[in-house]
Amino acid sequence: MEGRVILAWLEQALGVMLMFLVLLDVFLTVLYARAGAGVISHQLAFIVWQFFLGVSKNAGRRRGDVLSFCGPVIVVTFLLVWALALTCGAALIIHPHLGTSVTKSSGSTPTDFITALFAGGSSMSIVGAGDFSPQTSAFRLFYLFTSLVGTAVISLTVSYLLQVYSGLRQRNAFGLNLHLATAETGDAAEVIAGVGPHGQFEAGYSDLSDLGTTIGAVKEAHHFYPILFYFRFREPYYSVSRAALVSLDTATLIKSALDEDAYGWFMQSGAVGHLWRASLLLVTTLEETFLPGGGPTQQAPPDPATRERWRRRYVAALQRLRTAGINTIADEHAGAERYIELRSSWDQHITMLAPSLAYTMDDIDPVGHHPDSA
């Protein structure tokens, strides 16, 4: 008899711990809303993503379509795990008292665990719902508590879903608009040519400033709702890696390719600095949260082949800027060395982040990998 009482207490203690764990995860994921803060959700999302990666390897050309389902599946998994874990926690607390403190409205009360699951799930919605009702003051309070928890969790998850998809829409709109700003090429030189036609950067300054502000908003959206990272689309221009690369390459070209005498004010402007820092902060934050071991601790110098490829990319960008009527640097060799130096400070961040979402660098940086196509 004493052993049965101890077992009942252990079962209820396990139920309390399970409910506390889920409520803590809901609080950290929905209310605290910081990348990597969840107790269950962060690890759960990573497991689902790894599962989709494994399945998609056999999908061939349809791999991107398969991976595009991962984000929505993670959302559904969150909701199911939270609901089932709360139900199991309530069932573990109720189970030892079925037939005594919690009884069926009519007839004998079954005492199996499946019945406890049904009673626990019913208690999450409305007090006294279903065929089971509490008979003691302690369990009446417990039913009141679980009904409030169920209502609160439903409200919070609905709000969470709305915010996640709002952030996703903002990110996708930004990625598409940036892709259009590159004339659908992924070439940052097109962005510069667009904001400063014939060297008139006064009008395009505000556009570049808005670009940096939007990147900051996208960074915060991923910080608040890290699940956004796993919404992977077939089109690479929707990816954070492509947006960050184009933005960083834009700032790099401005700092290294323009004529300082004509555009020194623009090269040293707050808008360019903001664009650079916001883009770099975006990729480093995502690396620290989602990449095993984080991002690169030290930037390795590029090998000779990479330097030559970047140099050809730089020359192609200069040619594009000149055709747009923009004065470029007089010392092309010094400008190329400056470009390589600046790009070396951020390129490894992109090359580590892009494969984590199953993109190739040809997808993310078509011009950088094939400069002759610019």
> Per-residue pLDDT tens for 100-109?
888 887 778 8
Confidence of residue 297 (pLDDT cuts 50, 70, 90): low
User: Which segment of 42-56, 140-154, 294-308 scores lowest on mean pLDDT?
Assistant: 294-308
The answer to whether 316 and 193 have CB atoms below 8 angstroms apart is no
CB contact set of 293 (below 8 Å; sequence gap of 6+)? none
Q: What is the pLDDT of residue 111?
A: 85
Domain presence at residue 231: yes
Q: What is the pLDDT of residue 39?
A: 81
Mean pLDDT of 190-214: 91
The mean predicted confidence, pLDDT, of the chain is 89
Mean pLDDT of 124-148: 80
Tell whether the model's pLDDT for residue 17 goes beyond 90: yes
Candidates 272, 203, 239, 205; CA nearest to 68 is 239
List the domain range (segments joined by +) for residue 220.
185-373
Long-range contacts of 18-26 (CB under 8 A, 24+ apart): 18/85, 18/86, 18/88, 18/89, 18/92, 19/85, 19/86, 19/89, 19/90, 19/93, 19/149, 21/85, 22/82, 22/85, 22/86, 22/89, 23/86, 23/149, 23/153, 25/82, 26/82, 26/153, 26/156, 26/157
| 212 and 287, same domain (yes or no) | yes
Q: What is the pLDDT of residue 337?
A: 95
Domain presence at residue 170: no
Q: What is the pLDDT of residue 8?
A: 82
| 247 and 317, same domain (yes or no) | yes
Q: What is the pLDDT of residue 126?
A: 55
Tell whether the model's pLDDT for residue 250 goes beyond 80: yes
Domain presence at residue 204: yes
| 280 and 145, same domain (yes or no) | no
Confidence of residue 295 (pLDDT cuts 50, 70, 90): low
Domain boundary among the residues 117, 142, 158 is at: 158
Total domains, the chain: 2
From first CA to last CA, the distance across the chain in angstroms is 81
Structure tokens at 306: 């990479």
Q: What is the pLDDT of residue 270?
A: 92
Q: What is the pLDDT of residue 274?
A: 94
Q: What is the pLDDT of residue 374?
A: 62
| 151 and 202, same domain (yes or no) | no
Domain presence at residue 171: no
Domain presence at residue 126: yes
| 24 and 75, same domain (yes or no) | yes
Mean pLDDT of 28-57: 87
Domain presence at residue 229: yes
Mean pLDDT of 51-62: 89
Mean pLDDT of 313-338: 95
| 43 and 146, same domain (yes or no) | yes
Tell whether the model's pLDDT for residue 326 goes beyond 70: yes
Between residues 107 and 271, the one the model is more confident about: 271
DSSP 238: G
What percentage of the chain reaches a pLDDT higher than 70? 95
Domain presence at residue 175: no
**Sheet strands (E) in 127-208:** 132-134
| 216 and 364, same domain (yes or no) | yes
User: Which segment of 21-30, 126-135, 347-356 scores lowest on mean pLDDT?
Assistant: 126-135
pLDDT digits (tens, 9 = 90+) for 206-224: 989 999 999 999 999 998 8
Confidence of residue 1 (pLDDT cuts 50, 70, 90): low
| 331 and 223, same domain (yes or no) | yes
| 79 and 122, same domain (yes or no) | yes
Confidence of residue 287 (pLDDT cuts 50, 70, 90): confident
| 101 and 248, same domain (yes or no) | no
| 109 and 235, same domain (yes or no) | no
Structure tokens at 54: 């494994």
Q: What is the pLDDT of residue 373?
A: 66
Q: b/e per residue, 21-43, with b = 16+ CB within 10 A? A: ebbebbebbbeebebebbbbbbe
Query: Facing residues of 103 across strands?
Result: 133
Mean pLDDT of 136-156: 90
| 218 and 149, same domain (yes or no) | no
